[in-house]
Structure 1
Amino acid sequence: MILSRLLLSCAMAALVAACAQPAPPKDRFYRLETARQSALFSTPALGIVEVGHLSTDGVLSERPLAYQDADGALGRYRYDLWAEPPTALLQGALVEALRQSGIAATVITPETRVPPDWIVRGRLNRFEMTTAAGQANAAVELTVVSARDGSLLLLKSYQANISSAAGPQAEVAALTRASSDIIAAFLADLGRAAQTMKTSP
């Protein structure tokens, strides 16, 4: 009888302790809402432009926000996530920016299944917060090639480092600004390349 009461008391104590544990934090999801780009062309310099899926490796292919510790190791937040993988978010941002710029007659993705004139390819190399330096780092290589003969119109690596406070919300804001700066630089380079192509004999 005493043993039964003791076991019951232990069970009740364990139940109370379990109930007293705080609930885990809720997942937070972030979009990449880059700045609107200015129109570069009154008439399109390129025809149909397809923005392909960007490639990457490891942690950057996943949705949790990533950060780099002082020892160089990459970590990720448990409850703070991008709404989609960063490569998909950047692809969407590039599509919108190209449409806003007016540089192309039509901007599509591979899912549209329309034969393009030009293809934008990219590789995301960095997209994380460096905690020791207090800055967010984004780096992407972008290529524009002819879909007809594979000729190269543009190939360039872009990088932006934005000072940032610690924490996921500050990281999102800094990476959004870094992405906007990279996209603006890419559009300017693409505009120059398209103009040069048009004036070349």
Structure 2
Amino acid sequence: MIREEEAFERRKARKGKRRRESGCPKKTVWPVWTATILLATALAGCGAARPSKYYQLTLPGDQAAAQGADPVPATLLLGPLSASHLYREDRIVYSSPGEQMGMYEYQRWAEPPTEMIQEVLLRELQTSSHYKAVYVERSNAGGDFLIRGRLYDFKEISGTAMLAKVTFELEMRDLKSGSTVWTHYYTHDEPVSGRDVSAVVAALNRNVQAALKEMLASLNQYFAGHPFK
């Protein structure tokens, strides 16, 4: 009887062991080649980052213009240009028909437009040799007149005919009297000869150069009619 009970218990134990083994989940072992394929697929989905392109405006040469009459004996200080935050960043701005505006992600200026235009204007004034001295406005800089301005538009206008729009206003204040003695407003839509961003940049550059030449002529005309001594 005992032997029969022992044999029964052994059979019961073997059945329980088989049930426990069949109930345990088996660990999946992936072949090496399968893991390699999964890794390659993941890497293929992560392409290299798209490079950004940077552009800048044309600066006048360092050579001073041929001097004719004696320069105006005035020291000019050039202050910063104020603008919307769009033009205080380095991304190129575009506008669509209506009132929508946007910024290119990978097409950028070397510097924010406000800083680039200020630099071009500074160099134009300095190389003109028309004034005693021209400096950037600083806390320790002394001068007779202060020129400041605001940039309203510096963007691509998309449409049937693409345009490069530049709008800004400058004013000059007499630092002795504190009064504004000269202002100049400029706006122009320059045609874009192409459909890519580089063509837009070229048109904006032409527009800025024309604007600054017009501004310098207006400023020279002011001093011609209001001699400074």
TM band (smaller chain): 0.7 to 0.9
Q: Which amino acid aligns with 2:165?
A: N
- Aligned residue type for 1:16: A
1:59: which partner in 2?
86
For 2:98 and 2:32, locate their aligned partners in 1 and report how far apart those are by CA, in whole Å.
48
- State the aligned residue count: 198
Shift of 1:189: 0.5
CA distance in 1, matches of 2:67, 2:214: 12
Evaluate the alpha carbon distance shift between residue 103 and residue 29 of structure 1 in structure 2; reply closer, same or farther with a 3 A threshold: same
Q: Is the 8 A contact 2:60 2:123 kept in 1?
A: no
Q: Which moved more, 1:141-150 or 1:85-94?
A: 141-150
Classify the secondary structure of the residue corresponding to 2:184: strand
**Structure 1 pair 130/25, CA: closer, same or farther in 2 (3 Å)?**
same
Q: Which residue of 2 aligns with 1:23?
A: 48
Separation in 1, partners of 2:139, 2:151: 23
Relative to structure 1, is the Cα distance of residues 27 and 101 closer, same or farther in structure 2, using a 3 angstrom cutoff?
A: same
Q: Choose 135-144 or 97-106, whichever is displaced more.
A: 97-106
Query: Residue in 1 aligned with 2:180?
Result: 152
User: Which residue identity is paired with 2:79?
Assistant: G
Taking the aligned partners of 2:93 and 2:32, their CA distance within structure 1 comes to 46
Residue-by-residue CA offset, 1:34-73 (whole Å, 9 max, x unaligned) = 5669668532225111110000013122110110012321
TM value normalised by structure 1: 0.88
Q: Which residue of 2 aligns with 1:190?
A: 219
Check whether the contact 2:83–2:150 (CA below 8 A) recurs between aligned residues.
Answer: yes
1:5 aligned partner: 30
1:198–1:175 distance in 2 versus 1, CA, 3 Å: same
What TM-score comes out, normalization by structure 2 length? 0.78
* Cα deviation, residue 167, structure 1: 2.2
Kept after mapping to 1: 8 A contact 2:60/2:120: no
Structure whose alpha-carbon radius of gyration is higher: 2
Matched letter for residue 190 of structure 1:
L
State percent identity of aligned pairs: 25
Please state whether the residue corresponding to 2:127 is helix, strand or coil.
helix
Residue 204 of structure 2 corresponds to 175
| Amino acid aligned to 2:130 | I
Residue by residue, what CA displacement relative to the aligned partner does 1:147-182 show, whole Å, maximum 9, x if unpaired?
A: 111222211210121111222211111111100011
Residue type of the alignment partner of 1:171: V
**Aligned residue in 2 for 1:141:** 169
The structure-2 alpha-carbon separation of the partners of 1:127 and 1:120, relative to structure 1 and needing over 3 Å to count, comes to same
Structure 1 counterpart of 2:133 = 106
Tell which has more relative contact order, 1 or 2 (C-alpha 8 A, sep 6+).
1
With 27-36 and 154-163 compared, the bigger mean Cα shift is at 27-36
Q: Distance in 2 between matches of 1:178 and 1:34?
A: 13
CA distance in 1, matches of 2:125, 2:152: 21
- Cα distance in 1 for residues equivalent to 2:139 and 2:118: 14
Query: Which residue of the other structure, out of 82, 86, 89, is the alignment partner of 2:109?
Result: 82
Which secondary structure state, in structure 1, belongs to the residue aligned with residue 220 of structure 2? helix
